[in-house]
A and B are shown apart, each in its own frame.
Chain A
Amino acid sequence: MLTVKGLNTEYPSQKGPPVKAAQDVTFEVPAGKFFTLLGPSGCGKTTTLRSIAGLERPVGGEIVVNGRTVYSSEKKIFIPPNQRNFGMVFQSYAIWPHMTVFANAAFPLEVRKTKMTAQEIREKVMRVLSAVALEQYADREATKLSGGQQQRLALARALVMEPELLLLDEPLSNLDAKLRDRMRFELKRIQRELGLTTIYVTHDQGEALALSHEIAVMNEGRIVQVGTPREIYEHPRTKFVADFIGTTNFIDGTVLGMDTATGRWNVRTPAGDMLVHAVQTLAPNMAVTVSIRPEDVEVFEEAAPAGSGLNTTSGMVDQKVFLGDFVDFQIKIGEFTLLSRAHPSMRTPIGDKIHVRMNPEKCVAIPDISSARNAA
């Protein structure tokens, strides 16, 4: 459906060479899927989206949608945004304040080359407005809508043109937390019902995990990992991905060797020796970082029931923070501090001994870049 190949973009800078934004960005999105570009600000995700939209002109690469090349540096093709027929929802919604709700949604149909009758336009617009539950506001001034309603109107305007591709640029970031949760479900429902191929840009990992079929995590202009939400969360390939997606404990260690009984790798860390899972192939004496999510660090007041092949150790409660639906413990194991997220019923006082259990499946070893290169 959408293929982006070797996309490179640049910004002219005041002095010196142009600044590189997206670098060698390559990915593919099958029809009907929800694909998310996720990364911190300045990682090139928005530039990538805007290049797909045609609002920005890349310096190299190729973008093909449904077999139609909309950009290719080699073939010297650049189709302007107004001829691409992609729907886009902007971060600021970009609702035109001098028009009514209806006029906003009708605009794409009015300006297109193939003329439609007023009746046809009316029917289409009302259908799409009712899909986003705005039909009763059709004649209202667009500025009189609330934030959430404006956001739905922006979506309606993008949908009314029956786009080949739906592009969403952080559409939820201007909403308050409650509304954002609701719109998240709404967005997923509409996307699924219409079967629209959707490209979504966000810096919010929660949103990305909740909405996407597939996520591309970007950093410094490059895609660092592509995968399903579960793959990205549970098996991050780099420290950056592990750190960016959710909270995690990083434990530096050295590979001791393969544990033949369990098929796991044995790693020596400041929190003791542990069995870990690895996506990449490891080798003895390799420096690795073990990433483990706080919710995967189980804590017990009594000695943990030792399951086969589970990592167990014990430490001392150094600090704890009650957060309502869970409680965070900082546990000192020797010199090392481990963060654990536990059920709020856990009430171990500060200074007391506490037992820890970690499933090796959840302890992911990520080779340090330098030593990984040496090994390879």
Chain B
Amino acid sequence: MASVENISGNLQTGDQPVVKADPKWAIMGGVVSIVAWLALVPLVFLIYQSFRTPGTARKPAIWTLGNYFEAYSSPDTLLLFANSVQFAAGTAILALVVGTALAWMTERTNTPLKPLFYALSIIPLIIPGILFVVSWIFLASPKIGLINLALQNLLGTDKVYVDIYSMAGMIWVDGLHYAPIAFLLMTAAFRAMDPSLEESAMMSGASMWGIFRRITLKLAFPAVAASFLILFVRSIESFEVPALLGLPVGIQVFTSAIYDAIHSYPSNIGLAAAYAITLLVITMGGIYFQSRITSQGGKYSTVTGKGFRPRTIDLGRWKYLTAGIFLVYALMVVILPFLVLLWSSLQKFYSVPSMEALRNVSLAAYVTIINYPSVGTAVWNSFILSIGSATTVMVLTAVVCWIVLRTKIRGRFLLDQLASIPLVLPGLVMGLAIMVCYLTIGGGIYGTIWILFIAYVTRFLPYGMRYNTTSMVQLHKELEESAAMSGASWFTSFWRIVLPLLKPGLLAGWIYIVIVSVRELSSSILLYSPGTEVVSIVIWEMWQNGQYVELSAFGVMLIATLFVFVMTAQWIGKRFGVKET
């Protein structure tokens, strides 16, 4: 705890030569106030708004319980709740089953194609949610879906085989979309598990299935439960799938109900806030139980801290089956969605693949996109916003983490909690809260790009915290203490020792936040105004306008750009990053 001691107590000067005001106090105070403002103020306004009537020119807003009454008196609310839970639980289970199976196959078996699969597993993370949903509409809608058309051609019927516009369709698309996250969570869990526990089961004569069921899964239980809750919260927050697949056929969940309440005429922000509060309570519960499970994982403490290279299980002939599962998964999550977008981007009007359509292939849509009026602005806005918010978040949370981990200041754990609050706020709720907040206090921020910047920084604070915490706990405190002993001030040691050593973690977090900022839709959709569109908004608008071909062309370009960005950033990171020590 280097400079901790001199932080923990206020420095009394006494008869000592006057101590100059240390700039570290200004920096730390500033950072704490910014985080507190970002995390708390919009939330307060959201709660406030949920108790207010809509104010009009003739009638000023007054206090009311009417929003909650309206939200809960209607029998539709019960249906809304049931739909939301069904959708979120279904999605979480699908994602978890797929993710766990894949993680087990890559971590614990000798399935072929593993390295390829690893490379593939990051690609879904860079496909924006809205593009993924659109591509699955192209694949499985009852009217234009390729799967239906192909089966109809093949079997000579006009029966609808798959209908994406249904609860099952919603779960399918969102489940596949979140499977990569489940895969990453479960991979980490499997890696942290000492394989000798499984090996001793094998020596006791257990079968492979017996080991998986009775040892591996049992040991992984805290990780499975925690992952389920994370996925549940993520899917109850998701906006793209319910909006594009649920709303057209009247399946409403909380997020789409909030969107509807704001976009109906006259817009009912109070009702939206009441729904938002309910959603918030659900996500808070989920995150609370998740952190409980994670912190109680002690009795399952499978991490021994020594490095182990797990021996993989030889699957024999079954390995071709697991390799096949890999391929099917890759097909569903990456290859088919991308190909269908590519196909439709090369058409003049959206049409089904056929020899005739093949003759009409053209790059017209790409030309249209390049000359499309709002695309240039949107790309520029997204670029500025993602770089700006990623940089801001990483620097801000580096200081916050330092305070939490390295000082003995009273209440530093509260700061950690504070910076994690945005985790429980669904994007749409966050957008609503920020909208209400800056509309009420004014200041001219609403309607500018700054409101989007504030939303992104707030939303992604927890990610910055996670990346910085992970790398900072690995940083031996003596590295900073020796800087202090060498005579370095706090600022010098933070700038010259701490930040450079955190560089790999900072870079990884930065890349991640850039990507999620570019994908961001659910907050932006409530906060953008003409001139401050971002790329995901342009895609949304094109979808609403039925410009499927242009949308596809833009989507293909976006995915390609993000892919190149990730590859370059990783290459730069490897090339110029700090060597592992």
Assess A12 versus B408: contact at CB under 8 Å? Given A98-B501, A141-B579.
yes
Identity of the chain A residue whose Cβ is nearest the Cβ of B578 in the assembled complex: A98
The digit string for A126-145, where 1 denotes a CB below 8 A from any CB of B, is 00000000000000010100
Docked-complex contact B489 and A82, CB < 8 angstroms? yes
**Interface stretch (choices A86-94, A310-318, A322-330, A361-369):** A86-94
Compute the total of residue contacts between A and B using a CB distance below 8 Å: 109
**Interface stretch (choices B7-15, B210-218, B293-301, B385-393):** B7-15
**A81 at interface by CB-CB < 8 Å:** yes
Interface centre among A82, A88, A141 (most CB of B within 10 A): A82
**B1 at interface by CB-CB < 8 Å:** yes
Assess A96 versus B479: contact at CB under 8 Å? Given A111-B492, A161-B487.
yes
Write the nearest CB–CB distance from B273 to chain A, whole angstroms: 40
Q: Which of A77, A86, A98 lies in contact with B16, CB distance below 8 A?
A: A77
Which residues between 42 and 101 of chain A lie within 8 Å of chain B, taking CB atoms? 53-57, 75-88, 90-92, 94, 96-98
Interface centre among A12, A107, A113 (most CB of B within 10 A): A107
Docked-complex contact B484 and A85, CB < 8 angstroms? no
Bound Cα distance A161, B15 (Å): 27
Query: Can you list 25 A-B pairs with a CB-CB distance of less than 8 A?
Result: A53-B485, A55-B2, A55-B485, A56-B1, A56-B5, A76-B14, A76-B16, A81-B6, A81-B481, A82-B483, A82-B485, A82-B488, A88-B481, A88-B482, A96-B501, A97-B578, A107-B496, A111-B483, A111-B487, A111-B488, A112-B487, A143-B579, A157-B486, A158-B485, A161-B486
Docked-complex contact B16 and A79, CB < 8 angstroms? yes
CB neighbours of A141 from chain B (8 A): 579
Assess A83 versus B487: contact at CB under 8 Å? Given A75-B15, A76-B12.
yes
Write the nearest CB–CB distance from B260 to chain A, whole angstroms: 49
The digit string for A14-32, where 1 denotes a CB below 8 A from any CB of B, is 0000000000000000000
**B531 at interface by CB-CB < 8 Å:** no
Other A-B pairs beyond A76-B14, A96-B497, A108-B488, 14, CB < 8 Å:
A55-B2, A55-B5, A55-B481, A55-B484, A57-B9, A78-B6, A80-B11, A82-B484, A94-B478, A98-B501, A98-B503, A111-B492, A111-B496, A141-B579
CB neighbours of B9 from chain A (8 A): 57, 78
The digit string for B491-516, where 1 denotes a CB below 8 A from any CB of A, is 01000110011010000000000000
**B278 at interface by CB-CB < 8 Å:** no
Docked-complex contact A55 and B578, CB < 8 angstroms? no
Write the nearest CB–CB distance from A352 to chain B, whole angstroms: 47
CB neighbours of B6 from chain A (8 A): 54, 57, 78, 80-81
Docked-complex contact A81 and B501, CB < 8 angstroms? no
Bound Cα distance A83, B6 (Å): 12
Write the nearest CB–CB distance from A144 to chain B, whole angstroms: 9
Identity of the chain A residue whose Cβ is nearest the Cβ of B503 in the assembled complex: A98
**B581 at interface by CB-CB < 8 Å:** yes
CB neighbours of B121 from chain A (8 A): none
Identity of the chain A residue whose Cβ is nearest the Cβ of B486 in the assembled complex: A108
Q: What are the 6 tightest A-B residue pairs by CB atom distance, in nearest-first order?
A: A57-B5, A108-B486, A76-B14, A94-B478, A94-B482, A97-B581
Docked-complex contact A90 and B482, CB < 8 angstroms? yes
Q: Which of A97, A107, A154 lies in contact with B501, CB distance below 8 A?
A: A97
Identify the B interface with A (CB < 8 A): 1-3, 5-6, 8-9, 11-16, 408, 476, 478-479, 481-489, 492, 496-497, 500-501, 503, 578-579, 581
Identity of the chain A residue whose Cβ is nearest the Cβ of B481 in the assembled complex: A55
Write the nearest CB–CB distance from A161 to chain B, whole angstroms: 7
CB neighbours of B2 from chain A (8 A): 55, 81
Assess A94 versus B489: contact at CB under 8 Å? Given A12-B408, A88-B482.
no
Bound Cα distance A112, B8 (Å): 24
Write the nearest CB–CB distance from B404 to chain A, whole angstroms: 16
Write the nearest CB–CB distance from B575 to chain A, whole angstroms: 15
Identify the A interface with B (CB < 8 A): 12, 53-57, 75-88, 90-92, 94, 96-98, 107-108, 111-113, 141, 143, 154, 157-158, 161, 167
Bound Cα distance A77, B14 (Å): 7
CB neighbours of A84 from chain B (8 A): 485
CB neighbours of A85 from chain B (8 A): 487
Bound Cα distance A243, B16 (Å): 44
Bound Cα distance A97, B581 (Å): 7
Write the nearest CB–CB distance from B578 to chain A, whole angstroms: 5
CB neighbours of B483 from chain A (8 A): 82, 96, 107, 111
CB neighbours of B1 from chain A (8 A): 55-56
Q: Which of B3, B476, B485, B488 lies in contact with A86, CB distance below 8 A?
A: B485
Docked-complex contact A80 and B476, CB < 8 angstroms? no
Docked-complex contact A94 and B488, CB < 8 angstroms? no
Write the nearest CB–CB distance from A75 to chain B, whole angstroms: 6
Bound Cα distance A128, B22 (Å): 32
Docked-complex contact A80 and B479, CB < 8 angstroms? no
Q: Which of B16, B489, B581 lies in contact with A111, CB distance below 8 A?
A: B489
CB neighbours of B488 from chain A (8 A): 82, 107-108, 111
Bound Cα distance A77, B497 (Å): 28
Docked-complex contact B579 and A88, CB < 8 angstroms? no
Identity of the chain A residue whose Cβ is nearest the Cβ of B488 in the assembled complex: A111
Assess A97 versus B481: contact at CB under 8 Å? Given A75-B14, A78-B11, A82-B489.
no
Bound Cα distance A78, B15 (Å): 11
Write the nearest CB–CB distance from A231 to chain B, whole angstroms: 32
Q: Which of A57, A88, A98, A112 lies in contact with B485, CB distance below 8 A?
A: A88
Bound Cα distance A75, B12 (Å): 10
Docked-complex contact A143 and B485, CB < 8 angstroms? no
Docked-complex contact A92 and B478, CB < 8 angstroms? yes
Bound Cα distance A98, B496 (Å): 10
Q: Which of A12, A92, A108 lies in contact with B487, CB distance below 8 A?
A: A108
Bound Cα distance A75, B16 (Å): 9
Docked-complex contact A90 and B481, CB < 8 angstroms? yes
CB neighbours of A97 from chain B (8 A): 501, 578-579, 581
CB neighbours of B8 from chain A (8 A): 57
CB neighbours of A76 from chain B (8 A): 12-14, 16
Bound Cα distance A357, B1 (Å): 53
CB neighbours of B487 from chain A (8 A): 82-83, 85, 108, 111-113, 161
Write the nearest CB–CB distance from B408 to chain A, whole angstroms: 7
Write the nearest CB–CB distance from A70 to chain B, whole angstroms: 10
CB neighbours of A92 from chain B (8 A): 476, 478
Write the nearest CB–CB distance from A311 to chain B, whole angstroms: 50
Write the nearest CB–CB distance from B490 to chain A, whole angstroms: 8
Q: Which of A80, A111, A113, A143 lies in contact with B486, CB distance below 8 A?
A: A111
Write the nearest CB–CB distance from B102 to chain A, whole angstroms: 35
Write the nearest CB–CB distance from B5 to chain A, whole angstroms: 4
Write the nearest CB–CB distance from A104 to chain B, whole angstroms: 9
Write the nearest CB–CB distance from B580 to chain A, whole angstroms: 9
Docked-complex contact A81 and B484, CB < 8 angstroms? yes
Write the nearest CB–CB distance from A375 to chain B, whole angstroms: 43
Bound Cα distance A135, B497 (Å): 23
Docked-complex contact A94 and B14, CB < 8 angstroms? no
CB neighbours of A112 from chain B (8 A): 487
Bound Cα distance A97, B474 (Å): 13
Bound Cα distance A111, B503 (Å): 21
Identity of the chain B residue whose Cβ is nearest the Cβ of A59 in the assembled complex: B9
Docked-complex contact B5 and A90, CB < 8 angstroms? no
Assess A87 versus B485: contact at CB under 8 Å? Given A81-B2, A96-B501.
yes
Write the nearest CB–CB distance from A150 to chain B, whole angstroms: 11
Q: Which of A12, A55, A86, A143 lies in contact with B581, CB distance below 8 A?
A: A143
Write the nearest CB–CB distance from B480 to chain A, whole angstroms: 8
Bound Cα distance A85, B12 (Å): 20
CB neighbours of A94 from chain B (8 A): 476, 478-479, 481-482
Bound Cα distance A158, B484 (Å): 11
Bound Cα distance A81, B487 (Å): 7
Interface centre among A87, A94, A158 (most CB of B within 10 A): A94
Write the nearest CB–CB distance from B472 to chain A, whole angstroms: 15
Identity of the chain B residue whose Cβ is nearest the Cβ of A83 in the assembled complex: B487
Docked-complex contact A107 and B486, CB < 8 angstroms? yes
Write the nearest CB–CB distance from A101 to chain B, whole angstroms: 14
Write the nearest CB–CB distance from B488 to chain A, whole angstroms: 4
